Amino acid sequence: MAKTKEITTGKIYISASFNNTLVTITDNKGDVIGWSSSGNSGFKGTRKSTPYAATTAVDKIVKKVKEDYGLREVEIYVKGPGSGRDAALRAIRAADLKISMIADVTPIPHNGPRPKKKRRA
């Protein structure tokens, strides 16, 4: 397929839950140019949450986006506690993309839920 639009810089959002790893690639405005997940890469059940599945998902979408749009430089935003976090970062580094920034955007509660009421004597 011919390049539709030349996009050299973009953002990669990695959402790593305990059950799956989602990878979304956007341009600088935030428009999605490609996405993939461990489930989308053919893994089912508990194998979706493995680091290998996350690596496969990243490889699949980065290869497609580099081919279609000419992506070269990325900012990475990682969210979640899953096991695919580090594996996804390693896969992006291995894909010869220049990484300008890595940010952890995992939501952390500042105060948490309300505590249980005091026990009466």
Q: What whole-number distance in Å separates Cα of residue 118 and Cα of residue 104?
A: 36
Q: What whole-number distance in Å separates Cα of residue 84 and Cα of residue 86?
A: 6
pLDDT tens-digit readout, 90-104 = 999 999 999 999 999
pLDDT tens-digit readout, 56-85 = 999 999 999 999 999 999 999 999 998 989
Dihedral angle, C-alpha 108, 50, 92, 78, nearest 10 ° = -10
pLDDT tens-digit readout, 7-52 = 899 999 999 999 999 999 999 999 999 999 999 999 999 999 999 9
Give the CATH fold of the 9-104 domain.
Nucleotidyltransferase; domain 5 (3.30.420)
Please state the domain extents for the chain. 9-104
Helices and strands (H and E) in the chain: how many: 2, 5
